[in-house]
Homo-oligomer: A and B are copies of this chain.
Amino acid sequence: MPADRGQAAGRPTISEVAAEAGVGRATAARTLGGYGYVSPELRERVLAAAQKLGYRANALARSMSTGVSHTLGVILADIGNPFFAGVLRGISDTSRARGFDTIVLSTYEELDEEVAATNVLIDKRVDGVIIASAAIGRAEVAHIKAAMSRGIPIVLVDRAVAALDLDTVVIDNRDAAREAVEVLIAAGHRRIGFVWGPSAPETPTTRRGLLSEKSRNLWTDGERLRGYLDALDDARIPFDPELVMTGPKTEERATEEVGRMLALPDHVTAVFCTETDAVLGALRAVRAAGLAYPRDISLIGFDDSAWAAVMDPPLTMIEQPVHRLGAKAAEVLLDILHGNEPEHEIHTLRSRLVARSSVAPPSA
């Protein structure tokens, strides 16, 4: 075996430090590892030797023998999405402060990727995992259950999964959506578009169909749709399937669909958007139709952004506590790692409707 296998040039080991200091391996390990008793004298010598050689502990070796890697795994839909980027920042800020680093994997809502990501994290022996899962039904959670049965602490973030008894950090999407739609209703709207709805293979036209698992809603999407329906029900406004967008969840599609809703004989006078790209699409449709908000149409959307505030007029948006969402998830996970493992619960954080100027009464 080549002498330098596994160690590049100039990476002294604890044995070398011990030799340099003229003490035993264990003594060096104790002082450098910060555990056990060591006389001040030897301690000094070891420290000096370590300093001289530029010693840095090999975290891998340490993890091997302690079984703790001080690394957390994070599985998200898309690290390039501002929402998840914010969540990740929350996670990494708080875990870093407690001495943990993070390995992040994006799934792009692909269940296969999620499974693969889970396996990677298991293999790398992360101490715990935070995951925004795309899993919906019981049939899709096998990989998570497998990880659980291996004793890996897991906390869910952004999306709850009914089939899993796990700590979960979310906002009340249903309530947030209901509140937003209520604002629209209070302003006098009755024809309110919903963008975007489920990307079902075939367009469901009933409430049941819309909410069914087959239409493959993400949990958040389903909740937001329910909130929309709640508000309609409370105001006794009949549900009209023509006012909910279906199909691929893209900005382009949202533009088309809002365009369609705007062209209906009994057209929409307001649109509620469940995501940033949906808002963008709606905005384009409004402009393409030669209309202006909030005069001709009112708008409220999910996921506030600094840009929303500088739009003219500024947009009324739902703000999620992105950083806090991640921070809380990390806190809960770290607590579990610290041995505090009470009942698993769902931690619901508060979102906030930021009222600006994209809502007005419907034009006569």
Contact = CB atoms under 8 A, between A and B. Distances in A.
A336 interface: no
A58 B123 contact: yes
Contacts of A79: 79, 85, 88-89, 92
Given A59-B125, A80-B89, A307-B305, A102 B104 contact: yes
B66 A92 contact: no
Please state the number of chain copies in the assembly: 2
A163 interface: no
A64 B60 contact: yes
Interface in A67-97: 67, 69, 71, 78-82, 85-86, 88-89, 92-93, 96
A19 B96 CA distance: 40
B106 A56 contact: no
A323 B152 CA distance: 32
Contacts of A150: 8-11
Contacts of A305: 307
12 contacts: A6-B67, A54-B146, A58-B125, A59-B123, A61-B64, A80-B89, A92-B106, A96-B105, A102-B103, A284-B310, A307-B311, A311-B311
Given A59-B125, A92-B105, 13 more contacts: A5-B65, A6-B65, A59-B124, A60-B60, A60-B124, A79-B85, A79-B89, A82-B85, A85-B85, A102-B104, A104-B104, A251-B306, A307-B307
Interface of A: 5-11, 54, 56-61, 63-67, 69, 71, 78-82, 85-86, 88-89, 92-93, 96, 101-106, 119-120, 122-125, 146, 149-152, 251, 276-277, 280, 283-284, 287, 305-312, 323
